[in-house]
Chain A
Amino acid sequence: MSMAKKNIANNPERTEGQITRRNLLVWLSSVGLFGSAVISIFSNLVFIKPRATYGQPNRFSIGKPDEFPSGTKLALDQQRVCVVRDGDKLCAISTTCTHLGCIVAPSDTGFACPCHGSRFDQDGNVTGGPAPKPLPWYKLTMAPNGELEIDKSTEVPAGTYFNV
């Protein structure tokens, strides 16, 4: 069989550019191999990022709005977020210091970091110390079951309140 193929391949009557059986097969093979190579490279790249990690979930529920009366400034240490309510306006401010990641504590004037003395005002803007950036605000929404949900994967600009 290979002899027969060779004879066809060496046939001088065939002109260049014409699609021979050989060319077609070579083309098909290379598409197949190249395609699978692309897919495997792509899937390997996707695999690098874990689909789930075992930390605290980014979106979590904190309870009904009634549980936070006006004037509340409640820091949830485990979730590293501070829930602030003023009248009907609610917001969630991160309590992770933007300097080196300590947990900042709510103070009379805003927030204060115990590690290197960074200070933030009520809205999380830096008022002193080494912190380079203001504390981020997180998206606060109402889940269908009537509970407030904080989504730490979505930051919102400071001053964006959720109205009860």
Chain B
Amino acid sequence: MRLALAIASFVILIVHGAVFYDQFFNKWERHQTAYFDQARSMAKTDAERAGLEGRSPRIEQLIVTSFGESRVDRCTTCHIGIDDPRFNQHAQPLRSHPYTEDMGDRLVNGKWERRHKFADFGCTVCHDGQGRGLETVFAHGEDHYWPDPMLGYVTQNWRADFKPKLKGKEYMQANCALCHTDENFKRTPLVAKGRQLFFSTNCYGCHKIEGLSTGALGPDLSEVGKKFKVDYLWESVVEPRANIATSFMPKFNLSDDDVRALVVFLKSRRGVNFSETSLDRYRATLNKENKGKGEAPAVAVPAVAGGQPVTSPAAPPAAIATASLGEKLINDRSCAACHKIGARDGGVAPDLSFEGLIKGDKWLMEHFRDPRSLVSDSIMPSFGFSNPDYLAMTGYLMSLKTPPAFNNPEEFYKNTCARCHGDKGDGHGMIAAYLDPYPRDLTKAGFMNSKTEDRLMKSIREGVAGTSMPAWGRVINDDQIRQVFNYIQTTYVKDPRRPLKERKLPETNPVASSRESIARGEQTFLQRCTGCHGKKADGKGPNSIDILPRPRNLRNAEFLNSISDRRLFESILYGVQGSAMQSWIDYGLTEKDVGDLINYMRSFNKPKQ
């Protein structure tokens, strides 16, 4: 018993001693003692000696109030020789901070003068890290939970494959740019390059950065540098789905140098800018708005392409120049990050390899300017390039007129249709998730066999307006369309077609459109249709999420205007087999009610002038 007590008391003594040593004999004291000793031996004049007199180790700190919230930087506790030029070759932590002209330091009478004095700026405003930390692991931000590890110096437990790429003093440019916001500030080339890449690779089409871009498809990046460390940014640029599993951001396959520039640029987006007041920021946004609504910096356009209308029979050399410039634009602007063009395929958006066949130049121009004016639920951003750029891109796309090979319908289906409708014909193709309306499920015999062959063939031949279904009649001939249709019928629909019951339907709406009729139609719509089609008739009613195929967006003007009254009568009165649309004649809607409904729907889908 006594032995145990003796051992225990000694253990307590040792633990106490260890804690005492740990708390009162700090590493930084040894660094400071070493500094004082060496400085004393270096001192040549009385003044230098006097300056060191009575100095003893203690916590040195800089309190900086000029940059955002006040900072307490104790870095000089260990790095005590930071402003002592005699220590410029010394081992860390006593080495003095280098002088460089890049930071604005000046050589005056053989002596360097700092532009950024440590007493005014502190350390963490440029380097990041934890200013209050007194141990290396904390001060440098090596701790996983510290949000700002020393930029370009400390990597925490980051992914091994790009961890080495995240080191280097060039990353600190991101912090320079917090104050030096000029667009082409000479000392921060990476930020400028990243900013330029943000536009040239079309990031701005989807992402918003306050004062720079207005894209709304992806997350707002105005404060992305404040929220995330560089490893997260790198990972998100290189592998968009690594952090957000549902992200549909394309892989851009940029070079490491480009990714680095983008990461530095993004890291510099901290939402705060120490050099400007909120009034400055407000003025800047006003100026931006006046300058032009988020217009991208125009790519240099040779005079020959400027204003050359593509529709007119242009002189061949000019047309070729336009097309080659368009090709350059489409390659440089990463269109293939989403679209398929030839061998490159982003896997998000439709195939453009033979766009010249299926679309006209007018359609392309209009679609470039505002994709949603033609495909109302398209996710393609309006990039806001300059008009000559659009003309050049249209010229290039219109030159793509090589139709895909047609050897047999099966191969043709796999090469073209399957991109949206899927290899199994179930509508879950590679890019289906990004299309709205969703591609038709061709295996649903209930739907397929309830429509006439003519109508289905027409959808293939002429496409479906307001959706991503193109007019295949411009690519293959009627006989080939028939072959594809038969292939779909036998492979995916499987059920043999039966003769359809003849239904008596009016060819045109017998109810004349009038204010009263529209009002009655609206009334009926609000009572009967909003559950699925939504109050705004945009197909997003409360029930819509449970239904596949999704309820039709009735504000899709291109689509609504392309279909006949007869078809609307058929779909409403007798329902759509294979979908949730029921036969409303069974629920008491008369032909007159439906006529009112159609007048109501037509009233907010006016054809374009």
Enumerate chain A interface residues (CB-CB to B < 8 A).
2, 5, 22, 25-26, 28-33, 35-36, 39-40, 42-43, 46, 51-52, 54, 56-57, 60-61, 139, 141-146, 149, 154, 162-163
Contact = CB atoms under 8 A, between A and B. Distances in A.
17 contacts: A25-B6, A28-B9, A29-B2, A29-B5, A30-B9, A31-B13, A32-B11, A32-B12, A33-B13, A39-B17, A39-B20, A43-B23, A51-B58, A143-B84, A144-B84, A145-B84, A162-B47
A142 B48 contact: yes
Contacts of B117: 61
B78 interface: no
A40 B16 contact: yes
A18 B24 CA distance: 41
A95 to B, nearest CB: 20
Interface of B: 1-3, 5-6, 8-13, 15-17, 19-20, 23-24, 39, 47-48, 50-51, 54, 58-63, 72, 74, 83-86, 111, 114, 117, 119
A35 B74 CA distance: 34
Given A32-B12, A57-B61, A142-B47, A25 B5 contact: yes
Nearest to A60: B119
B389 to A, nearest CB: 53
A33 B9 CA distance: 5
B40 to A, nearest CB: 12
Most buried by B among A36, A143, A163: A36
Contacts of A22: 2
Given A36-B13, A154-B54, A146 B2 contact: no
Contacts of B23: 43
A39 B452 CA distance: 96
Contact of B63 (A43, A54, A154): A54
B61 A52 contact: yes
Given A25-B5, A52-B74, A61-B119, A141 B12 contact: no
A163 B47 CA distance: 9
Nearest to A142: B47
Contacts of B20: 39, 42-43
Contacts, number: 89
Contact of A141 (B2, B47, B61): B47
A143 B54 contact: no
A75 B10 CA distance: 58
A131 B420 CA distance: 90
Contacts of B13: 31-33, 35-36, 39
A93 to B, nearest CB: 18
A35 to B, nearest CB: 5
Contacts of B16: 35-36, 39-40
A18 B59 CA distance: 52
Contacts of B24: 43, 46
Contacts of B9: 28-33, 36
B111 A56 contact: no
Given A32-B6, A39-B13, 16 more contacts: A25-B5, A30-B9, A32-B8, A32-B12, A32-B13, A33-B9, A35-B13, A36-B16, A39-B20, A52-B61, A54-B72, A141-B47, A142-B51, A144-B48, A145-B114, A163-B47
Contacts of A5: 1
A52 B2 CA distance: 44
A61 B121 CA distance: 13
Contacts of A149: 51
A158 B26 CA distance: 36
Contacts of B72: 54
A142 B43 CA distance: 12
A143 B51 contact: yes
A139 B61 CA distance: 19
Given A39-B20, A46-B24, A57 B62 contact: yes
Contact of A26 (B2, B48, B58): B2
Contact of A144 (B10, B86, B119): B86
B206 to A, nearest CB: 44
A20 to B, nearest CB: 11
A28 B12 contact: no
A32 B3 CA distance: 12
A56 B83 contact: no
The interface centre, meaning the residue of A2, A39, A60, A162 with most chain B CB atoms within 10 A of its CB, is A39
A57 B73 CA distance: 12
B48 A57 contact: no
Nearest to A32: B9
Contacts of A28: 6, 9-10
Q: Which one of A25, A56, A149 has the greatest number of beta carbons of chain B within 10 Å?
A: A25
A63 to B, nearest CB: 9
A127 to B, nearest CB: 31
Contacts of A26: 2, 6
